[in-house]
């Protein structure tokens, strides 16, 4: 790789100063940094790092994700392959690693800690403590991914503790996932060796966890958005915060990534060096990542922006290679092999019927909340027809269904949900956290059945049904990711998202929100393929009260 120089106003985060400089890059490494005069009107700063993301949620394989993220100045991700692992096990983790090595981008994968996330649902694989330890010993694995089973930590479940002990023994950081945990419970959770949390949805919760010794990763994803609640930590605890997207759909990845949080924070008046510290230095130091920070001897991983107001990314360099310029990726596409685990049989309309013997039943209803993973439990009067509980469009109480994708003849699980706003039709997805069974919501059983069967036909994807009109976006890699080019995927997703919203949905990210309605480890009510689940009590609940 030839040497080159680049000049501009260098943002030195370690010295907390900005000065005109010329940088010399040799063999992908920063060889010299010298103060200069008459430099171009541009700013050079360390590249951005997403401190917690599931690449699978972008619906892109790692190489395609990289092509889109680098345009926004992202040079690295701390990536939890939890989703593909729950579908395909260790083979899924290796798939992500193998694909990622075919492009110039710094993916740092973790060993999934919760496969399955709970035993109250059916996953496609199990990764026990022995397999987890084997993964942790892999040099391509950098940390133990989010420990979602926080009850298992608090009650010292043997299998959970074995995974935590393995990470500590091998010397790799442990990520947390404990929404709502405060006080002594937060202290007990952190004392198990868990060092981060990206699930805080109130400032008070975040402060409790910081006091317990944890770092807080401020999340702003496609569905879960916690920036507004937590951004003041950039001023009060700049050494304890990082930025992440967690789950980012492709349509949003076209628009922005971590750069969006940087720009937003600067517009809110936060100190430039504190903001960029959260976007680069803090994750590098916490996870001990080999990502350059613009020091002599560092890898040449940096970004050029036009100014400190617009903060538009002009160029992105990784290991000295120009990987994106002027909104265009310079990374090449690579061949995408397929990997899947899908054996569901097509369903009948009668599989979705909810019978009742009560004349005026009261039912538990999941209340979805815009911008949050947590839900509320409502108890509301049900609408019935011919001895069956049905969707109540007028009161926005719709039927929700989860279909086991791994066991062909398993029964369908059903419940009811509010705040999707559908007036007709149904939508369905095989992105259903965490086990990625088929999840669907709709106004009638025929529409729900058709939306589900469309995904069984293509062995994974997302669908929308409006009478005889059906649109399907296949996701042939695990039912989670496309094998297509990233911007093509984003356009297809935008089209199907728009069609879903034509049915009356008011949610900003309906498919992402739908996917989290099967996420049992987040309270209060969720639905697995085995039934309605009370996440606060960590036990199943009846639909009828």
| CATH at 151 | 3.20.20.140
Question: Are 314 and 354 in a shared domain?
Answer: no
Please report whether residue 298 resides in a domain: yes
In this prediction the pTM is 0.95
Longest dimension (CA), the chain: 83
- Burial status of residue 386 (CB atoms within 10 A of its CB: 0-12, 13-18, 19 or more): exposed
β pairing state of 4-12 and 17-26:
antiparallel
The total of structural domains in the chain comes to 2
- Provide the residue range defining the domain that includes 239: 38-322
Question: Are 289 and 397 in a shared domain?
Answer: no
Please report whether residue 10 resides in a domain: no
For 240, what's the count of Cα atoms within 13 Å in the CB-facing half-sphere? 21
Cβ neighbors of 219 (< 8 A, separation 6 or more) are 52, 198, 199, 225, 226, 227, 244, 245, 246
Domain finish residue from 322, 339, 360: 322
Question: Are 300 and 415 in a shared domain?
Answer: no
The pair of structure tokens assigned to 249 is: 């759909």
pLDDT of residue 407: 95
Q: Read off the pLDDT of residues 401-416 as tens digits, 9 standing for 90 and up.
A: 999 999 999 999 999 9
Please report whether residue 47 resides in a domain: yes
pLDDT of residue 373: 85
Q: Are 360 and 378 in contact (CB under 8 A)?
A: no
What distance in Å separates the CA atoms of residue 63 and residue 49, rounded to the nearest whole number? 16
What distance in Å separates the CA atoms of residue 170 and residue 133, rounded to the nearest whole number? 9
Query: Is the peptide bond between 227 and the residue preceding it cis, with omega within 30 degrees of 0?
Result: no
Question: Are 376 and 313 in a shared domain?
Answer: no
What distance in Å separates the CA atoms of residue 377 and residue 523, rounded to the nearest whole number? 9
pLDDT of residue 222: 80
Please report whether residue 29 resides in a domain: no
Question: Are 290 and 362 in a shared domain?
Answer: no
Q: Are 56 and 478 in contact (CB under 8 A)?
A: yes
Q: Are 18 and 294 in contact (CB under 8 A)?
A: no
Question: Are 273 and 414 in a shared domain?
Answer: no
Q: C-alpha dihedral over 380, 383, 386, 387, to 10 degrees?
A: -10
> Given its phi and psi angles, is residue 269 left (phi above 0), alpha (psi -120 to 50 degrees) or beta?
left
Question: Are 44 and 177 in a shared domain?
Answer: yes
Cβ neighbors of 220 (< 8 A, separation 6 or more) are 226, 227, 243, 244, 245, 260, 261
Question: Are 379 and 431 in a shared domain?
Answer: yes
Question: Are 223 and 178 in a shared domain?
Answer: yes
Question: Are 374 and 295 in a shared domain?
Answer: no
Cβ neighbors of 477 (< 8 A, separation 6 or more) are 61, 84, 95, 336, 338, 339, 340, 483
Buried b (16+ CB within 10 A) or exposed e, 394-424: eebbbbbbbbbbbeeebebbbbbbbbbbbee
What distance in Å separates the CA atoms of residue 58 and residue 222, rounded to the nearest whole number? 10
Question: Are 220 and 279 in a shared domain?
Answer: yes
Please report whether residue 385 resides in a domain: yes
545 residues of the chain, pLDDT tens digit each = 789 999 999 999 999 999 999 999 999 999 999 999 999 999 999 999 999 999 999 999 999 999 999 999 999 999 999 999 999 999 999 999 999 999 999 999 999 999 998 889 999 999 999 999 999 999 999 999 999 998 899 999 999 999 999 999 999 999 999 999 999 999 999 999 999 999 999 999 999 999 999 999 999 988 788 999 999 999 999 999 999 999 999 999 999 999 999 999 999 999 999 999 999 999 999 999 999 999 999 999 999 999 999 999 999 999 999 999 999 999 999 999 999 999 999 999 999 999 999 999 999 999 999 978 889 999 999 999 999 999 999 999 999 999 999 999 999 999 999 999 999 999 999 999 999 999 999 999 999 999 999 999 999 999 999 999 999 999 999 999 999 999 999 999 999 999 999 999 989 999 999 999 999 988 899 999 999 999 888 899 999 99
What distance in Å separates the CA atoms of residue 10 and residue 51, rounded to the nearest whole number? 23
The 8-class DSSP code of residue 347 comes to: -
Question: Are 264 and 378 in a shared domain?
Answer: no
Please report whether residue 25 resides in a domain: no
The residue count for the chain? 545
Please report whether residue 331 resides in a domain: no
What distance in Å separates the CA atoms of residue 320 and residue 1, rounded to the nearest whole number? 8
Please report whether residue 216 resides in a domain: yes
Q: Are 315 and 325 in contact (CB under 8 A)?
A: yes
CA 269 to chain centre: 27
Query: C-alpha distances in angstroms, 378 versus 206, 523, 530?
Result: 27, 13, 20
pLDDT of residue 224: 83
């Amino acid at each position: 790789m030839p040497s080159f120089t680049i000049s501009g106003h260098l943002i030195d985060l370690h010295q907390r100063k900005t000065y005109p400089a010329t940088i010399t890059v040799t063999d992908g490494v920063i060889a010299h940094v010298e103060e200069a005069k008459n430099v171009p009107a541009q700013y050079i700063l360390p590249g951005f790092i997403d401190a917690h993301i599931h690449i699978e949620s972008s619906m892109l394989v790692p190489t395609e994700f990289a092509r889109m993220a680098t345009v926004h100045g992202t040079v690295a991700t701390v990536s939890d392959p939890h989703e593909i692992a729950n579908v395909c096990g260790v083979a899924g983790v290796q798939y992500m690693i193998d694909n990622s090595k075919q492009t110039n981008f710094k993916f740092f994968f973790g060993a999934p800690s919760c496969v399955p996330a709970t035993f109250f649902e059916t996953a496609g694989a199990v990764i026990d403590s022995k397999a987890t330890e084997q993964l942790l010993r892999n040099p391509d694995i950098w940390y133990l991914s989010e420990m979602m089973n926080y009850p298992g930590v608090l009650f010292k479940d043997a299998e959970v503790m074995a995974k935590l002990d393995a990470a500590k023994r091998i010397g790799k950081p442990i990520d947390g996932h404990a929404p709502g945990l405060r006080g002594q419970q937060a202290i007990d959770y952190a004392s198990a060796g868990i060092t981060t949390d990206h699930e805080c949805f109130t400032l008070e919760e975040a402060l409790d966890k910081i006091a317990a010794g944890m770092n807080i990763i401020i999340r702003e994803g496609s569905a879960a958005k916690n920036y507004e609640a937590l951004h003041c930590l950039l001023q009060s605890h700049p050494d304890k915060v990082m930025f992440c997207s967690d789950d980012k759909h492709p349509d949003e990845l076209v628009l922005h990534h971590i750069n969006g949080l940087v720009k937003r924070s600067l517009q809110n008046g936060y100190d430039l060096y504190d903001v960029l510290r959260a976007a680069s230095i803090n994750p590098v130091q916490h996870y001990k990542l080999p990502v350059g920070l613009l020091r002599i001897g560092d890898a040449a991983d940096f970004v050029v922006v036009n100014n400190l107001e617009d903060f538009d990314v002009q160029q992105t360099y990784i290991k000295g290679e120009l990987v994106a310029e002027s909104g265009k990726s310079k990374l090449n596409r690579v061949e995408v092999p397929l990997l899947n685990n899908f054996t569901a049989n097509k369903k009948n309309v009668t599989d979705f019927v909810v019978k009742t013997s009560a004349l005026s039943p009261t039912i538990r209803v999941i209340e979805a909340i815009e911008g949050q993973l947590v839900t509320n439990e409502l108890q509301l009067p049900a609408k019935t027809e011919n001895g069956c509980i049905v969707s109540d469009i007028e009161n926005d109480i719709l039927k929700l269904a989860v279909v086991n994708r791994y066991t062909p003849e398993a029964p369908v699980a059903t419940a009811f949900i509010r705040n999707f706003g559908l007036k007709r039709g149904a939508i369905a997805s095989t992105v259903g956290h965490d086990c990625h069974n088929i999840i669907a919501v709709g106004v009638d059983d025929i529409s729900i059945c058709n939306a589900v069967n469309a995904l069984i036909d293509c062995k994974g994807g997302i669908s929308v049904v409006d009478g005889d009109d059906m649109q399907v976006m296949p996701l042939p890699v695990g039912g989670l990711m496309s094998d297509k080019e990233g911007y093509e995927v984003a356009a297809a997703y935008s089209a199907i998202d728009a069609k879903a919203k034509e049915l009356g949905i008011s949610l900003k990210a309906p498919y992402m929100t739908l996917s989290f309605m099967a996420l049992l480890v987040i309270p209060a009510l969720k639905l697995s393929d085995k039934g309605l689940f009370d996440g606060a009590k960590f036990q199943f609940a009846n639909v009828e009260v």
